[in-house]
């Protein structure tokens, strides 16, 4: 029997890679739902290979705008209704940013498995997400290449034997640039990632190493370990996707070519090992380098560890402030080095709270964004 699949964020980089995997596995999958935030034409083009999929535009339609032919649902509520009614066995959440949290919870509410590429889901609300997953009996399969590697390594060697997670990072395009030149980095330079092809926000996050910081928080939530047990290792080739060190000192690694289609393939097939044409590694000319991260060069990584150690709402605050800072940098409203200044300013406010509830998360997210915008407006904007 074919597995029924929904793809959220189908027109983004994760979504496009997912559709490649689904085309390759057309005998194993039925695509029942595709969503995009605003890219109507691209969504319609993507759906040509999946004619049975219901289509959703999750952005709100401006008043007076005619609904487009072939779109079953519109808006945030339309997306949540579509998730509830799709009858998917597994849903890939490739939505970017904090907007992906509510759809992740909606997927778990149906009892369907969640192939999770939206790292903000675990960053903002790991306790809620893990509780919902357990309550509904729905599995979470990480789609980030690093977390997919850790998931498979722990499945093979046992969570109970884990000493620490070694989370690899490419180091981005500015790993070796002189420190005195970093203030002059432009959005165009930051968008030129040496290894991965990603959307603009995540590419900027990679250049500041905020992305790796978010992945530290995500790993702590996914695998129920403190951030101190998640150690970042810079590995420029992006071939070793992560490692685990066991209590006996042995280190195990997962290697493949940097191709997001491999972890997506693994997530869609669950715990079954199915032949995959993506990510095959050639050992004939392979060099692997490893080094410590430079926290002075990349203060966003240090701030992420601070947020994870503080726990509670601090990870949501880190994420919200960073999203505002990155958006301003992309518009050339602030400098590259202003990004950690903004996030540090917001994070160092008092965000202690009695508990991580959905209401508290949304309030912290909103307040952190407002504080970041105010700081940019009154202190930094050019």
Binding-site residues from annotation = 11-14, 118-120, 144-146, 170, 193, 199, 206, 211-212, 215
Phi/psi at 100 (5° precision): -80, -10
Q: In terms of C-beta distances under 8 Å and separation of at least 24 residues, what long-range contacts does 273-278 make, across chains too? A: 274/25, 274/28, 277/24, 278/20, 278/21, 278/24
Burial label for 335, CB within 10 Å (0-12, 13-18, 19+), is: middle
Return d(Cα 361, Cα 170) in angstroms, integer: 30
Q: Are 95 and 8 in contact (CB under 8 A)?
A: yes
- Helix boundaries (H) for 137-291: 145-157, 187-190, 200-208, 210-223, 261-268
| Annotated binding-site ranges for Mn(2+) | 144, 146, 215
Q: Which residues contact 173 (CB under 8 A, 6 or more apart)?
A: 189, 190, 192, 193, 194, 207
Per the DSSP assignment, residues forming a β-bridge with 165 are 230, 244
Return d(Cα 42, Cα 19) in angstroms, integer: 13
| Of 263, 211, 207, residue with least CA distance to 232 | 211
Q: Is 6 helix (H, G, I), strand (E, B) or coil?
A: strand
Q: Are 114 and 103 in contact (CB under 8 A)?
A: no
Return d(Cα 265, Cα 300) in angstroms, integer: 31
| Annotated binding-site ranges for NADPH | 11-14, 118, 120, 199
Return d(Cα 141, Cα 80) in angstroms, integer: 20
Q: What is the DSSP secondary structure assignment for residue 297, as one 8-state letter?
A: T
| Annotated binding-site ranges for 1-deoxy-D-xylulose 5-phosphate | 119, 145-146, 170, 193, 206, 211-212, 215
């Amino acid at each position: 029997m074919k597995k029924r699949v929904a793809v959220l964020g189908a027109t983004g980089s994760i979504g496009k890679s997912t559709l490649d995997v689904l085309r390759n596995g057309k005998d194993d999958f039925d695509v029942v739902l595709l969503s995009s935030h605003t890219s109507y034409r691209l969504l319609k083009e993507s759906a040509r290979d999946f004619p049975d999929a219901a289509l959703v535009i999750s952005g709100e339609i401006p008043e007076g705008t005619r609904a487009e032919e072939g779109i079953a649902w519109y808006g945030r509520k339309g997306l949540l209704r579509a998730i509830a009614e799709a009858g998917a066995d597994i849903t890939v959440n490739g939505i970017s940013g904090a907007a992906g949290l509510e759809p992740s919870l909606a997927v778990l509410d149906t009892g369907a498995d969640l192939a999770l590429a939206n790292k903000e889901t675990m960053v903002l609300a790991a306790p809620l997400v893990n509780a919902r997953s357990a309550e509904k009996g729905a599995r979470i399969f990480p789609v980030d290449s690093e977390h997919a590697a850790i998931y498979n390594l722990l499945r093979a060697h046992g969570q109970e034997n884990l000493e620490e997670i070694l989370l690899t990072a490419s180091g981005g395009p500015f790993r070796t640039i002189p420190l005195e030149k970093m203030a002059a980095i432009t959005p165009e330079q930051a968008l030129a990632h040496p290894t991965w092809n990603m959307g603009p926000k995540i590419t900027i996050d990679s250049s500041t190493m905020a992305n790796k910081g978010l992945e530290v928080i995500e790993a702590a939530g996914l695998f129920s370990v403190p951030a101190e047990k998640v150690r970042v290792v810079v590995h420029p080739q992006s071939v070793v996707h992560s490692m685990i060190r066991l209590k006996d000192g042995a280190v195990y690694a997962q290697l493949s070519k940097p191709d997001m289609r491999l972890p997506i393939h693994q997530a869609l097939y669950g715990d079954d090992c199915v032949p995959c044409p993506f990510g095959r590694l050639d050992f004939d000319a392979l060099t692997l380098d490893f080094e410590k991260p430079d926290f002075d060069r990349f203060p966003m990584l240090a701030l992420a560890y601070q947020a994870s150690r503080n726990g509670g709402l601090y990870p949501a605050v880190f994420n919200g402030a960073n999203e505002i800072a990155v958006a301003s940098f992309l518009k050339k409203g602030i400098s590259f080095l202003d990004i950690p200044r903004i996030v540090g300013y917001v994070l160092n406010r008092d965000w202690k709270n009695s508990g991580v509830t959905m209401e508290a998360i949304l309030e912290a997210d909103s307040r952190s964004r407002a504080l970041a915008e105010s700081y940019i407006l009154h202190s930094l904007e050019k």
